[in-house]
Structure 1
Amino acid sequence: MKTKILSVITMLVIVLGLTTSTFAANIDAYTVLNDISAINKIEVHGNVELYVSDASSDQVKVYNKYYSESALIQNKNGVLRITSYKNEKLVVWVSANDLRSISAYDNAEVKTFGKISKIEFNVDLHDNAEARLNLDAYSASVTVKDNAKADLKGSATELNLNRDIESNVKSNNFTAAHYNENKVSFAAEINNELINM
């Protein structure tokens, strides 16, 4: 009886060990896209999880079986376009030297890996896109439309914030010397009230 119990325990340990090492190997697997450089803007569409960091040179890492999935990553005239509409998120890490702008659509998620330090930085979120950004910028412009959400940390000398819904932007951990806010839906409500009078 003891032998059977020990055999079962040994098999469980071996199976769990193999499962854990296989999972770890999948996380570490990525594809580096070497032919991409001079990135100054990123456009993200679909079901993508994008990580962005500052670097001395540009590099794009895709943490899925990129070539076997229906995903598109294209760089043209400094604009990096990342698109994937599969159910599983396409995970991409972009390290860039001169990134100035990010636009995200659909269900895309954008996250900074560390703090992004820029002179000017623009973020444009649409649909259900989400962004969690840690910025150190002279001038930052953030536009949040539809049901998109932004969580801002860090600081800027000048912050221009355009948003449809006030609660969709968290900026408790963000400081700005000069702050300008435009509530798009609020202006639309005033226009509708004036028309209906």
Structure 2
Amino acid sequence: MKTKILTMAAVMIMAVVTTKNTYANVNNNNNEEVSTVLKNISKINKIELHGNVELFVSDGTADQVKVYNKYYAESALVQSQNGVLRISSYKNEKLVVWVTAADLHNISAYDNAEVKTFGRLASLELEVNLYNTASAALNLEGYKATINVNDNAKANLTGSVNDYNLNYTQPQNVIHTNFVAVTASKSQIPAKTKANEIAGL
């Protein structure tokens, strides 16, 4: 009986020690994760993404830009001018950026960029433009949302708005089954052809 009690006590002590070690390792990994909060960026009303960028966007009372992945060691560009925040990176590894904005009205994503909301993004009026193979997973709440899904871009929308305008090139690339709108309009954008591209030059 004493042996069983001692064995159980030893197992409990080992479990506690293992749990503490795991927790310490998780903390160490988080501490080693490199991130940079960019100063002097405010009044963001538009975000432009180019290249291999993963953007998390959320509401907040003050604007803040937090860049991960050893930002200063990579060939990435994050700049703000006249309310427009431009983020671009063409490395193989995605540049991860978290933007908190108080008054965001427009997001445009090109190339292989990804946009994801962190929580529900509340905006009185928001326009989202997706090009190339960019993608967006957006949980929205607001009065008006205009979503333009061009080329082979993809959008997954949830939440609710009063007025919803959708323009798309490929209908199968837009998922909005869990998205509620009081009024909605949808139209298909003609796919670009080589002849159209040459004519536009």
- Structure 2-normalised TM-score? 0.81
Q: Is the 8 A contact 1:165 1:185 kept in 2?
A: no
- The equivalences for 1:93-108 within 5 A come to 93-108=98-113
The question of 1:135 aligning with 2:135 is answered no
**Is there any run of 5+ residues in structure 1 with no aligned partner, and where?**
1-12, 189-197
Rounded Cα–Cα distance in structure 1 between residues aligned with 2:25 and 2:91: 25
The one-character-per-residue Cα deviations of 1:87-114 (angstroms, maximum 9, x if unpaired) are 0000000000011110000000000000
Which of 29, 38, 49 is the matching residue for 1:33? Answer: 38
Q: Alignment length, in residue pairs?
A: 173
Unmatched segments (≥5 aa) in structure 2:
1-17, 193-201
SS of aligned partner of 1:171: strand
Instruction: Determine the C-alpha separation between the residues in 2 that align with 1:71 and 1:113.
Output: 23
Q: Which residue of 1 aligns with 2:183?
A: 178
Deviations 1:48-104 (A, max 9, x none): 000000000000000121111000000000000000000000000000001111000
C-alpha deviation, 1:19, in angstroms: 7.2
SS at match of 1:75: strand
Aligned with residue 72 of structure 1, among 46, 70, 77: 77
Match status 1:111 vs 2:116: yes
CA distance in 2, matches of 1:158, 1:21: 44
Distance 1:182 1:84, change over 3 A: same
SS in 1 for 2:30: helix
d(CA) in 2 for partners of 1:21 and 1:114? 24
**C-alpha deviation, 1:25, in angstroms:** 3.0
Equivalent residue in structure 1 for 2:149, among 144, 149, 152 = 144
Distance 1:88 1:112 in 2: 20
Structure 2 residue 30 is the aligned partner of structure 1 residue 24: yes
Aligned partner letter, 1:80: L
CA distance in 2, matches of 1:77, 1:136: 26
CA contact (8 A) 1:125 1:143 kept: yes
Distance 2:57 2:37 in 1: 15
Identity of aligned residues (%): 55
- 2:31 alignment partner AA: A
RMSD: 1.9
Q: CA deviation at 1:137?
A: 1.2
